[in-house]
Amino acid sequence: MIRHLRLSPLLLLCACRSVEVTPAALRAAPDPRGWRAAALARWEQAVELANAFLASDWRRTLPPGRFELRDEGLAYVGDAGCTWPIAVRHSTWGDLVVATGFRAQEDARGFVVGAVDPPHCGPADPLLDNTFFRWTDGAWHEPHALAELLLHETTHVVYRHGTVGAWNTLAYYAVAVATLGAADHPVERRPRASSEEFTLFRLARDAPEEYRHVYAEQFELHLAQAQAHCRHGPFAAPECP
């Protein structure tokens, strides 16, 4: 789960509406202002950036693999032969997640996102005006923010850590209620590790060449130390879905 502000228990609430965000759906409707094309371009850039990270030495937690953005949606294709669909859905459940301070929440099929107020006149577009593509003030997420979200939520899905399946969901919220939050939730440690790895990869990549070794050294030092809030891999290969 990617957090914006705070956690409130949502266990007894259910999703009633769901719109799947896919490249095919973004291309299907008329797009006179070019907003859907712009959103899809950001998504494609995010996948390219995430795949560069996945092919690098900075990836330690997710199993070897790469993202494939297909017409029908996103998939994580593991080098060992497993493929995990990573569906992006804007749903009523996602609206509730956003209302309690989060950007997205994982499930067995991928993750859900919620509505934001559209930064334009006219009705909201559920494919665009959501927390996958936009901040809550309506501004676009940059491709690196999309990439970080994809990697974080994919780690949840691949390792089935978090609200992935009914029993895991019950366990997640039981711990969250008992600890009054999710900041240090045990099942967030691997996804948080993927987020950290990607962030350091991006900072090192964008830094002047003479400073890149500093990020690499700090990363190795971080890996060598016991961390309470994250848990880096490598881990045993996960089961195929």
Q: Does residue 240 fall inside a structural domain?
A: no
* Position 239 pLDDT exceeds 80: yes
Tell me the H-state helices in 66-206.
92-99, 143-159, 166-179, 189-206
Q: Does residue 36 fall inside a structural domain?
A: yes
- pLDDT digits 0-9 by tens, 179-230: 545 556 778 899 999 999 999 999 999 999 999 999 999 999 999 998 888 9
Domain count, the chain: 1
Give the model's confidence band at 1: pLDDT under 50 very low, under 70 low, under 90 confident, else very high: low
**Residue listed under structure tokens 């992006």:** 88
* Position 121 pLDDT exceeds 80: no
Q: Does residue 16 fall inside a structural domain?
A: yes
Q: Which residues contact 137 (CB under 8 A, 6 or more apart)?
A: 116, 117, 119
Q: Does residue 81 fall inside a structural domain?
A: yes
Backbone torsion region of residue 69, taken as left when φ is above 0, otherwise alpha when ψ lies between -120 and 50, otherwise beta: beta
The domain in which residue 154 lies consists of 2-224
pLDDT score for 50: 98
* Position 150 pLDDT exceeds 80: yes
Q: Are 104 and 2 in contact (CB under 8 A)?
A: yes
- Distance set, CA 31 to CA 86, 125, 127, 140, 178 (Å): 25, 11, 12, 17, 47
Q: Does residue 238 fall inside a structural domain?
A: no
Q: Does residue 232 fall inside a structural domain?
A: no
Give the model's confidence band at 118: pLDDT under 50 very low, under 70 low, under 90 confident, else very high: confident
- pLDDT digits 0-9 by tens, 155-166: 999 999 866 765
pTM: 0.88
